[in-house]
Amino acid sequence: MSARLQPEPATPAPVIACTISRDVQHFELLIEDMEAALGERWGDLGFADALAFLEQPEADSLRFVAIALDSEDEADLGLVIDVIRAAKAKGIKVILITEDVTPASLHQLLREGGDEFVPYPLPEGELARAIERMTAPPPPEIPAQMRNTLKATGDRSGVVIPVYAMAGGTGATTLAVNLAWELAILDQEVAPRVCLIDLGLQTGSVATYLDLPRREAVLELLSDTEAMDSDTFMQALLSFNQKLHVLTAPLDLVPLDLIGPPDVERLIETARTNFDYVVIDMPPAMADWGETVLNAAHLCFATLELDMRSAQNTLRFKRTLQSEGLPLQKFRFVLNRAPGFADLTAGGVSGGWRIRSASRSRCSCPMAGAR
Protein backbone atom coordinates (compact mmCIF):
# COMPACT_ATOMS: atom_id res chain seq x y z
CA MET A 1 0.00 0.00 0.00
CA SER A 2 1.61 3.19 -1.14
CA ALA A 3 1.59 6.36 0.89
CA ARG A 4 -0.26 9.28 -0.59
CA LEU A 5 2.08 12.19 -1.23
CA GLN A 6 0.95 15.36 0.49
CA PRO A 7 1.65 18.66 -1.32
CA GLU A 8 4.08 20.86 0.51
CA PRO A 9 2.59 24.09 1.81
CA ALA A 10 3.39 27.06 -0.38
CA THR A 11 6.18 29.25 0.93
CA PRO A 12 4.78 32.70 1.70
CA ALA A 13 6.22 35.48 -0.40
CA PRO A 14 8.72 37.58 1.55
CA VAL A 15 7.61 40.96 2.83
CA ILE A 16 9.30 43.60 0.68
CA ALA A 17 7.82 46.76 2.21
CA CYS A 18 6.47 48.10 5.45
CA THR A 19 4.42 51.07 6.56
CA ILE A 20 5.62 52.78 9.73
CA SER A 21 3.30 55.14 11.58
CA ARG A 22 1.78 56.02 14.92
CA ASP A 23 -1.55 54.57 13.74
CA VAL A 24 -1.86 53.30 10.17
CA GLN A 25 -5.67 53.40 10.42
CA HIS A 26 -5.38 57.17 10.24
CA PHE A 27 -3.97 56.71 6.72
CA GLU A 28 -6.65 54.58 5.07
CA LEU A 29 -5.73 55.68 1.56
CA LEU A 30 -2.17 54.51 2.19
CA ILE A 31 -3.45 51.05 3.13
CA GLU A 32 -5.49 50.88 -0.08
CA ASP A 33 -2.58 51.99 -2.27
CA MET A 34 -0.12 49.60 -0.61
CA GLU A 35 -2.50 46.69 -1.19
CA ALA A 36 -3.01 47.74 -4.80
CA ALA A 37 0.73 48.00 -5.44
CA LEU A 38 2.05 45.05 -3.41
CA GLY A 39 -0.84 42.74 -2.55
CA GLU A 40 0.05 40.87 0.65
CA ARG A 41 3.78 41.53 0.46
CA TRP A 42 3.85 44.34 2.99
CA GLY A 43 3.46 44.82 6.72
CA ASP A 44 2.77 47.53 9.28
CA LEU A 45 4.74 48.65 12.32
CA GLY A 46 4.72 51.43 14.89
CA PHE A 47 7.77 53.67 15.26
CA ALA A 48 9.20 51.92 18.34
CA ASP A 49 8.60 48.43 16.91
CA ALA A 50 10.18 49.48 13.62
CA LEU A 51 13.49 50.30 15.29
CA ALA A 52 13.66 46.82 16.82
CA PHE A 53 12.54 45.09 13.61
CA LEU A 54 15.10 46.85 11.43
CA GLU A 55 17.85 45.27 13.52
CA GLN A 56 16.56 41.74 12.79
CA PRO A 57 17.58 39.51 9.82
CA GLU A 58 13.93 39.48 8.69
CA ALA A 59 14.32 43.11 7.66
CA ASP A 60 16.86 42.16 4.99
CA SER A 61 14.07 41.44 2.49
CA LEU A 62 12.66 44.98 2.72
CA ARG A 63 13.09 47.15 -0.34
CA PHE A 64 11.46 50.24 1.12
CA VAL A 65 9.49 51.59 4.06
CA ALA A 66 6.66 54.13 3.86
CA ILE A 67 6.82 56.40 6.90
CA ALA A 68 3.47 58.11 7.46
CA LEU A 69 3.19 61.02 9.87
CA ASP A 70 1.07 64.06 10.60
CA SER A 71 1.38 67.19 12.71
CA GLU A 72 1.09 65.23 15.99
CA ASP A 73 4.27 63.31 15.18
CA GLU A 74 6.35 66.49 14.96
CA ALA A 75 6.56 66.55 18.76
CA ASP A 76 8.71 63.39 18.59
CA LEU A 77 10.53 63.95 15.33
CA GLY A 78 13.72 62.47 16.80
CA LEU A 79 12.14 59.00 16.87
CA VAL A 80 11.13 59.32 13.21
CA ILE A 81 14.68 60.38 12.31
CA ASP A 82 16.06 57.35 14.18
CA VAL A 83 13.83 55.08 12.08
CA ILE A 84 15.01 56.73 8.85
CA ARG A 85 18.64 56.33 9.85
CA ALA A 86 18.12 52.68 10.77
CA ALA A 87 16.49 52.00 7.40
CA LYS A 88 19.23 53.78 5.45
CA ALA A 89 21.89 51.84 7.38
CA LYS A 90 20.45 48.64 5.89
CA GLY A 91 20.16 50.12 2.40
CA ILE A 92 16.36 50.38 2.56
CA LYS A 93 14.63 53.17 0.62
CA VAL A 94 12.36 55.60 2.49
CA ILE A 95 9.09 57.16 1.28
CA LEU A 96 7.73 60.00 3.41
CA ILE A 97 3.92 60.27 3.58
CA THR A 98 3.08 63.52 5.35
CA GLU A 99 -0.11 65.34 6.34
CA ASP A 100 0.01 68.88 7.77
CA VAL A 101 3.73 68.64 8.49
CA THR A 102 5.62 71.94 8.52
CA PRO A 103 8.13 72.64 5.73
CA ALA A 104 10.96 72.80 8.27
CA SER A 105 10.22 69.28 9.54
CA LEU A 106 9.83 67.92 6.01
CA HIS A 107 13.12 69.54 5.01
CA GLN A 108 14.84 67.89 7.98
CA LEU A 109 13.41 64.44 7.20
CA LEU A 110 14.47 64.68 3.56
CA ARG A 111 17.93 65.73 4.66
CA GLU A 112 18.17 62.73 7.00
CA GLY A 113 17.55 60.31 4.16
CA GLY A 114 14.02 60.45 2.76
CA ASP A 115 14.16 59.25 -0.84
CA GLU A 116 10.62 60.19 -1.91
CA PHE A 117 7.95 62.54 -0.61
CA VAL A 118 4.21 62.07 -1.20
CA PRO A 119 1.62 64.35 0.46
CA TYR A 120 -1.43 62.91 2.19
CA PRO A 121 -4.20 62.49 1.12
CA LEU A 122 -2.36 60.59 -1.59
CA PRO A 123 -2.87 61.85 -5.16
CA GLU A 124 -4.17 59.06 -7.36
CA GLY A 125 -1.36 56.76 -8.50
CA GLU A 126 1.37 58.85 -6.86
CA LEU A 127 2.47 56.13 -4.41
CA ALA A 128 2.79 53.61 -7.25
CA ARG A 129 4.88 56.09 -9.23
CA ALA A 130 7.12 56.74 -6.23
CA ILE A 131 7.65 52.99 -5.77
CA GLU A 132 8.44 52.62 -9.46
CA ARG A 133 11.02 55.39 -9.32
CA MET A 134 12.74 53.89 -6.29
CA THR A 135 12.86 50.35 -7.67
CA ALA A 136 13.93 51.38 -11.17
CA PRO A 137 17.50 50.57 -12.23
CA PRO A 138 20.01 53.35 -11.60
CA PRO A 139 20.19 55.99 -14.34
CA PRO A 140 22.99 55.74 -16.87
CA GLU A 141 26.16 57.64 -16.22
CA ILE A 142 26.31 61.25 -17.30
CA PRO A 143 28.00 61.49 -20.72
CA ALA A 144 31.52 62.85 -20.54
CA GLN A 145 30.63 65.97 -22.55
CA MET A 146 27.96 66.90 -19.96
CA ARG A 147 30.15 66.49 -16.90
CA ASN A 148 31.28 69.69 -15.28
CA THR A 149 35.07 69.85 -15.34
CA LEU A 150 35.27 73.40 -14.02
CA LYS A 151 36.93 73.64 -10.63
CA ALA A 152 35.81 75.79 -7.74
CA THR A 153 37.83 78.95 -7.27
CA GLY A 154 35.95 81.05 -4.72
CA ASP A 155 37.66 84.19 -6.02
CA ARG A 156 34.86 85.71 -8.13
CA SER A 157 32.10 88.21 -7.44
CA GLY A 158 29.59 87.40 -10.13
CA VAL A 159 26.74 89.46 -11.53
CA VAL A 160 23.33 87.99 -10.60
CA ILE A 161 20.60 88.25 -13.28
CA PRO A 162 17.21 86.64 -12.53
CA VAL A 163 14.63 86.34 -15.31
CA TYR A 164 10.89 86.49 -14.58
CA ALA A 165 7.77 85.88 -16.67
CA MET A 166 4.83 88.25 -16.37
CA ALA A 167 2.63 85.57 -17.94
CA GLY A 168 2.99 82.00 -19.11
CA GLY A 169 4.53 81.48 -22.53
CA THR A 170 6.21 84.88 -22.76
CA GLY A 171 9.65 83.36 -23.28
CA ALA A 172 11.32 83.82 -19.88
CA THR A 173 13.13 80.48 -19.95
CA THR A 174 14.13 81.04 -23.57
CA LEU A 175 15.56 84.44 -22.63
CA ALA A 176 17.38 83.04 -19.59
CA VAL A 177 18.98 80.20 -21.54
CA ASN A 178 20.00 82.31 -24.52
CA LEU A 179 21.24 85.17 -22.33
CA ALA A 180 23.42 82.75 -20.36
CA TRP A 181 24.79 81.23 -23.58
CA GLU A 182 25.56 84.61 -25.15
CA LEU A 183 27.41 85.66 -22.00
CA ALA A 184 29.37 82.39 -22.06
CA ILE A 185 30.64 83.02 -25.61
CA LEU A 186 31.09 86.77 -25.15
CA ASP A 187 34.87 86.53 -25.29
CA GLN A 188 36.42 83.56 -27.06
CA GLU A 189 39.90 84.29 -25.73
CA VAL A 190 39.06 84.82 -22.06
CA ALA A 191 35.69 83.10 -21.71
CA PRO A 192 33.61 84.30 -18.75
CA ARG A 193 32.48 81.68 -16.25
CA VAL A 194 28.67 81.54 -16.53
CA CYS A 195 26.24 79.61 -14.33
CA LEU A 196 22.56 79.10 -15.18
CA ILE A 197 20.35 78.12 -12.22
CA ASP A 198 16.81 76.79 -12.69
CA LEU A 199 14.80 77.66 -9.58
CA GLY A 200 11.57 76.39 -11.12
CA LEU A 201 11.56 73.52 -8.64
CA GLN A 202 8.27 72.14 -9.95
CA THR A 203 8.03 72.98 -13.64
CA GLY A 204 11.52 74.22 -14.53
CA SER A 205 12.46 73.32 -18.10
CA VAL A 206 16.03 74.59 -18.58
CA ALA A 207 17.21 70.96 -18.74
CA THR A 208 14.72 70.27 -21.53
CA TYR A 209 15.83 73.32 -23.51
CA LEU A 210 19.48 72.26 -23.36
CA ASP A 211 18.82 68.50 -23.60
CA LEU A 212 20.45 67.84 -20.24
CA PRO A 213 19.40 65.10 -17.79
CA ARG A 214 17.97 65.92 -14.38
CA ARG A 215 19.88 64.45 -11.46
CA GLU A 216 19.25 63.30 -7.90
CA ALA A 217 22.30 65.35 -6.92
CA VAL A 218 20.29 68.56 -7.29
CA LEU A 219 17.70 67.55 -4.69
CA GLU A 220 20.46 66.35 -2.37
CA LEU A 221 22.16 69.74 -2.71
CA LEU A 222 18.99 71.76 -2.11
CA SER A 223 17.92 69.58 0.83
CA ASP A 224 21.04 70.37 2.82
CA THR A 225 22.54 73.70 1.79
CA GLU A 226 24.11 74.08 5.24
CA ALA A 227 26.55 71.32 4.28
CA MET A 228 27.13 72.78 0.81
CA ASP A 229 30.51 74.17 -0.14
CA SER A 230 31.93 75.27 -3.48
CA ASP A 231 33.08 71.76 -4.38
CA THR A 232 29.71 70.08 -3.76
CA PHE A 233 27.97 72.88 -5.66
CA MET A 234 30.24 72.42 -8.67
CA GLN A 235 29.68 68.65 -8.60
CA ALA A 236 25.92 69.16 -8.94
CA LEU A 237 26.32 71.21 -12.14
CA LEU A 238 26.12 69.92 -15.69
CA SER A 239 28.02 71.39 -18.61
CA PHE A 240 26.60 72.50 -21.94
CA ASN A 241 29.33 72.46 -24.58
CA GLN A 242 31.87 72.95 -21.75
CA LYS A 243 31.03 76.66 -21.79
CA LEU A 244 27.76 77.02 -19.87
CA HIS A 245 27.35 75.40 -16.45
CA VAL A 246 23.82 74.51 -15.37
CA LEU A 247 22.06 73.64 -12.13
CA THR A 248 18.87 72.02 -13.41
CA ALA A 249 15.56 71.72 -11.59
CA PRO A 250 15.26 68.58 -9.41
CA LEU A 251 14.43 65.23 -10.98
CA ASP A 252 11.08 65.02 -9.16
CA LEU A 253 8.44 67.59 -8.33
CA VAL A 254 9.16 69.13 -4.93
CA PRO A 255 7.35 71.86 -2.95
CA LEU A 256 8.56 75.42 -3.47
CA ASP A 257 9.05 75.76 0.28
CA LEU A 258 11.58 72.91 0.26
CA ILE A 259 14.10 75.73 0.33
CA GLY A 260 13.90 78.93 2.35
CA PRO A 261 15.57 82.34 2.16
CA PRO A 262 18.78 81.16 3.92
CA ASP A 263 19.11 78.25 1.46
CA VAL A 264 18.69 80.51 -1.57
CA GLU A 265 21.11 83.05 -0.14
CA ARG A 266 23.76 80.34 0.32
CA LEU A 267 23.10 78.98 -3.17
CA ILE A 268 23.45 82.36 -4.89
CA GLU A 269 26.48 83.37 -2.85
CA THR A 270 28.26 80.10 -3.66
CA ALA A 271 27.52 80.58 -7.35
CA ARG A 272 28.68 84.23 -7.27
CA THR A 273 32.03 83.36 -5.75
CA ASN A 274 32.76 80.83 -8.50
CA PHE A 275 31.28 82.48 -11.61
CA ASP A 276 31.37 85.82 -13.40
CA TYR A 277 27.66 85.70 -14.29
CA VAL A 278 24.81 83.89 -12.53
CA VAL A 279 21.57 83.78 -14.57
CA ILE A 280 18.52 82.50 -12.68
CA ASP A 281 15.34 81.22 -14.32
CA MET A 282 12.66 82.09 -11.75
CA PRO A 283 9.44 80.11 -11.12
CA PRO A 284 6.06 81.57 -12.12
CA ALA A 285 4.93 81.65 -8.48
CA MET A 286 6.45 84.03 -5.93
CA ALA A 287 7.88 82.05 -3.01
CA ASP A 288 8.98 83.41 0.36
CA TRP A 289 12.59 83.35 -0.87
CA GLY A 290 11.80 85.60 -3.84
CA GLU A 291 12.90 88.68 -1.89
CA THR A 292 16.28 87.03 -1.31
CA VAL A 293 16.82 86.73 -5.06
CA LEU A 294 15.75 90.34 -5.66
CA ASN A 295 18.12 91.67 -3.04
CA ALA A 296 21.03 89.66 -4.48
CA ALA A 297 20.27 90.67 -8.08
CA HIS A 298 22.23 93.32 -9.95
CA LEU A 299 19.76 93.41 -12.85
CA CYS A 300 16.39 91.70 -13.43
CA PHE A 301 14.63 90.91 -16.70
CA ALA A 302 10.88 90.31 -16.98
CA THR A 303 9.28 89.06 -20.19
CA LEU A 304 5.79 90.03 -21.32
CA GLU A 305 3.65 90.16 -24.43
CA LEU A 306 1.28 92.70 -25.89
CA ASP A 307 -1.88 91.31 -24.30
CA MET A 308 -4.20 92.01 -21.40
CA ARG A 309 -2.88 89.27 -19.10
CA SER A 310 0.68 90.60 -19.38
CA ALA A 311 -0.49 94.16 -18.76
CA GLN A 312 -2.53 93.24 -15.69
CA ASN A 313 0.15 90.98 -14.21
CA THR A 314 2.85 93.58 -14.80
CA LEU A 315 0.90 96.27 -12.97
CA ARG A 316 0.10 93.87 -10.10
CA PHE A 317 3.76 92.89 -9.93
CA LYS A 318 4.83 96.52 -9.87
CA ARG A 319 2.36 97.42 -7.10
CA THR A 320 3.52 94.46 -5.00
CA LEU A 321 7.18 95.41 -5.27
CA GLN A 322 6.45 99.03 -4.40
CA SER A 323 4.25 98.13 -1.41
CA GLU A 324 6.94 95.81 -0.02
CA GLY A 325 9.74 98.29 -0.63
CA LEU A 326 11.49 95.94 -3.06
CA PRO A 327 13.84 97.24 -5.78
CA LEU A 328 11.64 97.85 -8.82
CA GLN A 329 14.42 99.96 -10.35
CA LYS A 330 16.42 96.79 -11.01
CA PHE A 331 13.84 95.54 -13.52
CA ARG A 332 13.99 95.80 -17.30
CA PHE A 333 10.89 94.59 -19.12
CA VAL A 334 11.32 92.72 -22.40
CA LEU A 335 8.37 92.77 -24.80
CA ASN A 336 8.37 89.49 -26.70
CA ARG A 337 6.83 88.79 -30.12
CA ALA A 338 6.12 92.47 -30.71
CA PRO A 339 4.70 93.26 -34.18
CA GLY A 340 7.08 95.39 -36.20
CA PHE A 341 4.45 97.61 -37.82
CA ALA A 342 2.95 98.97 -34.59
CA ASP A 343 4.06 102.01 -32.63
CA LEU A 344 5.80 100.03 -29.90
CA THR A 345 8.76 102.18 -29.04
CA ALA A 346 10.32 101.63 -25.65
CA GLY A 347 9.02 105.03 -24.61
CA GLY A 348 5.48 104.18 -25.66
CA VAL A 349 5.34 100.96 -23.70
CA SER A 350 7.05 102.50 -20.68
CA GLY A 351 4.70 105.45 -20.63
CA GLY A 352 1.53 103.39 -21.07
CA TRP A 353 2.36 100.82 -18.40
CA ARG A 354 4.64 103.06 -16.29
CA ILE A 355 7.52 100.60 -16.39
CA ARG A 356 11.09 100.73 -17.60
CA SER A 357 11.33 98.83 -20.88
CA ALA A 358 14.60 97.28 -22.01
CA SER A 359 13.88 95.97 -25.47
CA ARG A 360 11.44 94.14 -27.69
CA SER A 361 11.70 90.87 -29.55
CA ARG A 362 9.69 90.03 -32.65
CA CYS A 363 9.76 86.28 -31.98
CA SER A 364 11.06 83.75 -29.51
CA CYS A 365 14.76 83.19 -30.03
CA PRO A 366 15.31 79.61 -31.29
CA MET A 367 17.33 77.35 -29.05
CA ALA A 368 19.29 76.19 -32.10
CA GLY A 369 21.18 79.43 -31.78
CA ALA A 370 22.61 78.24 -28.47
CA ARG A 371 23.93 75.04 -29.90
pLDDT, residue 370, reads 36
User: What is residue 15's predicted lDDT score, i.e. its pLDDT?
Assistant: 86
The H or E element spanning position 80 is helix 77-89
Whether residue 1 contacts residue 28, with contact meaning beta carbons closer than 8 Å, is answered with no
Q: Is 220 exposed, middle or buried (0-12, 13-18, 19+ CB in 10 A)?
A: middle
Residue 154: predicted pLDDT = 86
Each domain of the chain, given as residue ranges in start order, spans 17-135, 144-370
CATH of 17-135, one of 2.60.40.10, 3.40.50.2300, 1.10.3720.10, 3.40.50.80: 3.40.50.2300
Q: Residue 53 is inside which H or E element, if any?
A: helix 47-53
What pLDDT score does 286 carry?
86
Q: What is the pLDDT of residue 192?
A: 93
pTM of this structure? 0.63
As a whole number of Å, the end-to-end CA separation of the chain is: 84
CB within 8 A of 130, min separation 6: which ones?
95, 116, 118
- The per-residue pLDDT for 12 is 62
| Pairwise CA distance, residues 240 & 243, whole Å | 6
Q: Which CATH superfamily is domain 144-370 in?
A: P-loop containing nucleotide triphosphate hydrolases (3.40.50.300)
Q: What would the pLDDT profile of 79-133 be if each residue is shown by its tens digit?
A: 999 999 999 999 999 999 999 999 889 989 988 888 999 999 999 999 999 999 8
Q: Which stretches of the chain drop beneath a pLDDT of 70?
A: 1-12, 139, 338-371
pLDDT of residue 1: 41
182-227, pLDDT tens digit by residue?
A: 999 998 888 899 999 999 998 899 999 999 999 889 998 998 899 8
Whether 144-370 and 17-135 are alike in CATH topology: the answer is: yes
CA contacts within 13 A on the Cβ side of 140: 6
